[in-house]
Structure 1
Amino acid sequence: MGIDGHSRVRGYQWPTGGCLPFLIEVEGDRFIALQSNHTAFVADGFPYLTRIDGRPIQQWIDQAATRVPKGAPHWIRHRCVVRFLGRLDYWRKELGLPRKQTVRVELTDATGQHTRVVELPVAKAPFSYPIWPQQPSRLLNNNIGYLRLPTMEKEPSLKEITTWMPQFRNASGLIVDVRDNDGGDRAALLWLYSYLASPTAPPHVFTAAAYRLHVSRNENHLAGGPFMFREDDAQWSPAERLAIEGFKKRFKPEWELPVGQFSPWHYLALRSRVDASIYHFDKPVVVLMNAKCFSACDIFLAGLKGVKNVTLLGTPSGGGSGNSESFILGATPIRLTLSTMASFQANGRLFDGHGVQPDIVLEAEPAYYIGGSDRVLEKAVSLLKASQNK
């Protein structure tokens, strides 16, 4: 498959067989094995998974990657683990390993110098992965607001923003946690940006896209969910037109659109909304992100990157922005999903294959995945406390 993180095939059935009896989380190039309820590691004190049935974990990932669209390496690792690797017996067959009722797992401690091998009964079905962390929005100590957005779906994300931002009006800083948020709608970005941007700030243009030409797509194909319009669209204000001109002068796409196959460029301009409930939150803001941030969450992060007082903290996002459509293949139950647009960041890079880079890179520690210490959140609090003391 090409570079299209949204592409997938549905409507088929996996062969029956045993499944992995635990979950795997990915941090950098290491894999963390934990119980399905996210409360403990498979083996206490040995969080890192190195081998399954005697084969290095990377061999399993490489095999599963043959079923995953091309993309950023960190996104491929997550997609392999979350969607596919749980089908243990299927991948055993692909690797030439025999089926059996148990699975042999090799684990190491944090130093990588001490190992433990455990034999576990296989599961009857793959476990699902919860969105993590499972934390509510609230006011933290030191008068710091914590806004948790686990999804970009319009209704729940706007409800969270409109419920909590009024309560954070007098907070000394704000943490916006979008870790594991795999997208939905762009409305949350448009709304939250109105709180974070100065009312006098010029429009913020940060992305350009073009859709693949097709008889079913009119010139407003990107106006709905993506909120993107052509340069000559009548809805732009003079200030927005000026911002688009400035963006065009700087924008150098890494991939040239094939002539005659794509629409003219479309742009998204952020501006502060006029609403009685909106105020300007002019204190420091830290946004927490990770490799499971995807699609509309990629756009959310790109829209806030570089905004005054905003710092992105964590690991690069998954990388995907495609305005996807689904197609049924003939008289079969097979449904194919493909992107309809090529979407670029302000630096000229495609979202797919790269993701959004944080301003400060920091990986989570294994304890985070079992409800323990969260050093990314702790770092955010530390940054905001330091800003209070300046």
Structure 2
Amino acid sequence: MKALPALATTILVSTLACLPALAQTPDMQVTAADRQQLVDSLSREVDQRYVFPDTAKKVAASLREQQARGAYERITSARQLAEALTQQMQATSGDRHMRVLYSDQPIPESKPAAAPQPEDVSRRLDMARSSNFGVQKVEHLPLNIGYLELDGFWRAKDAAETLAAAMTVLAHTDALIIDLRNNGGGDAGASTLLASYLFDTRTHLGDFYYREGNRIEQRWSLDVVPGLRYGQKRDVYILTSKDSFSAAEDFAYLLKNLKRATVVGETTGGGANAGEDVRLLPHFAAFMPLSRLVSPITKTNWEGVGVTPDLKVCAADALRMAQVTILEKRATLEQDGARLGELKQRIEELNKGKPHCTS
């Protein structure tokens, strides 16, 4: 899975998978007893907590069956065992979020409402700042088209100021292109924040369904956003690729189905379920979806199938195609001869630069 290198987030990223201590350290050796204990613990947690009960039973059964068949008996490396169990869960469920994680440092027992340690907060913010909170490019393209490239959705409270600055710069453009082709996911709250700039009134974006307690949490656009609101009268285009995943897909899916944006590019990766780390043993945890996103329009989500673009082109051609589509639509309404000439000239320039797509 293509994902942000270090985010403790709502939709996608496991906190344990991001800790520096997990990399470049000696591996732990596992015994037959360790393997059995891990499979037992993993099977139990999946069966009881994974968001889809029927799939949970299938995954748990497949893990126990593989263990009984001796599929893992030659694995003595903790990391290799975690990888093997991850592959088995993903193959059975089709859910790329599911994984087993190994930590060379003991994983503490979970504590309710534990406050994050200051050093963890500081490290997360340093990483967020080093990536400019996901904002990689803000441009004013020819003929007043705005362009925003995001390679990730960091926590909304951390990214709000940077996103507000970007949206303020783009506030007076005639159309907006949001590029998520290299966006592997992140925080659903940041997706909600960005979407809120694109509506004039409070809008029902979707719901989170939680297996625990069989409860639903509604999700609405924000009444107030920092900076200038873009509003919903101007066209928005979202660029996607096969590498667009999780929170990036969330953003594209909700805006597409609310008829607020046109998606251009490739079908996305297909990760819609939200999860968190579940401690299994002192050195092992599982990241598994405990809730799922549901669209108020489709009554489902994009898990396993991805978000299908409205205009399907290869990722390399998506930016050109979005611009051409914007300008062609504008040309059909333009009555000023000189302005129409500018539009046609720019369309011709873009069509001459069409990239060669190999797939």
Q: Distance in 2 between matches of 1:180 and 1:360?
A: 18
Give the secondary structure class of the aligned counterpart of 2:146.
strand
Q: Please give the secondary structure, in 2, of the residue aligned with 1:385.
A: helix
Contact 1:138 1:146 in 2 (8 A): yes
Could you tell me which residue of structure 1 aligns to residue 329 of structure 2?
A: 387
What's 1:207 paired with? 206
Structure 1 unmatched ranges of 5 or more: 16-62, 80-129, 214-261, 365-373
Q: Give the Cα–Cα distance (whole angstroms) in 1 for the partners of residues 270 and 325 of structure 2.
A: 26
Bigger helix share? 2
When residues 189 and 337 of structure 1 are mapped into structure 2, their CA distance, relative to the original with a 3 A threshold, is closer
Residue 302 and residue 134 in structure 1: after superposition, are their counterparts in 2 closer, same or farther (change >3 A)?
closer
8 A contact 1:344–1:350 mirrored in 2: yes
**Residues 1:271 and 1:188: Cα distance change in structure 2 (over 3 Å):** same
- Residue in 1 aligned with 2:90? 69
| Corresponding residue to 1:344 among 294, 312, 315 | 294
Q: What per-residue deviation string (whole Å, max 9, x for no partner) do you get for residues 285-318 of structure 1?
A: 1101122222222221222113455211112222
Indicate how the Cα distance of structure 1 residues 384 and 141 shifts in structure 2: closer, same or farther if over 3 A, else same: same
1:188 aligns with 2:190: yes
**CA distance 1:307–1:71, shift in 2 (3 Å):** farther
SS of corresponding position for 1:301? helix
Residue deviations 1:311-359, cap 9 Å, x none? 111122222233322133323x222111111333331334322222222
Q: TM-score, normalised by structure 2?
A: 0.52
**What amino acid is aligned across from residue 221 of structure 2 in structure 1?**
L
1:138 aligns with 2:139: yes
Q: 1:285 aligns with which of 236, 241, 262?
A: 236
Q: Classify 1:158/1:265 alpha carbon distance in 2 versus 1 (closer, same or farther; 3 Å).
A: same
Matches within 5 A, 1:323-334: 323-331=274-282, 333-334=283-284
Matches within 5 A, 1:184-333: 184-199=186-201, 203-213=202-212, 262-273=213-224, 277-280=228-231, 282-331=233-282, 333=283
Q: In 2, distance between residues paired with 1:350 and 1:211?
A: 14
Q: 1:355 aligns with which of 298, 306, 315?
A: 306
For the residues of structure 1 that align with 2:259 and 2:299, how far apart are their CA atoms?
Answer: 21
Counterpart code for 1:342: R
**Cα 1:319–1:267 shift into 2, 3 Å:** farther
Which amino acid is 1:144 matched to? I
Partners of 1:197 and 1:308 within 8 A in 2: no
> What RMSD, in angstroms, separates the aligned Cα atoms of the two structures?
3.9
* Number of aligned residues: 224
Q: CA deviation at 1:148?
A: 0.9
The answer as to whether partners of 1:208 and 1:265 remain within 8 angstroms in 2 is yes
Letter in 2 for 1:341: S
Q: Which runs of 5+ in 2 are unaligned?
A: 1-10, 30-83, 99-130, 334-359
8 A Cα contact 2:12 2:186, kept in partner: no
Identity %: 22
1:170 to 2:160 alignment:
no
Instruction: Give me the TM-score of the superposition, normalised by structure 1.
Output: 0.48
Deviations 1:242-301 (A, max 9, x none): xxxxxxxxxxxxxxxxxxxx5133321225436663353632111011222222222212
Per the alignment, do residues 363 and 298 of structure 1 end up closer, same or farther by CA in structure 2, a change over 3 Å counting? same
C-alpha separation in 2, matches of 1:327 and 1:65: 14
Offset of residue 157 of structure 1: 4.6
Counterpart-to-counterpart distance in 1, 2:188 and 2:196: 13
* Residue 152 (str. 1) matches residue 103 (str. 2): no
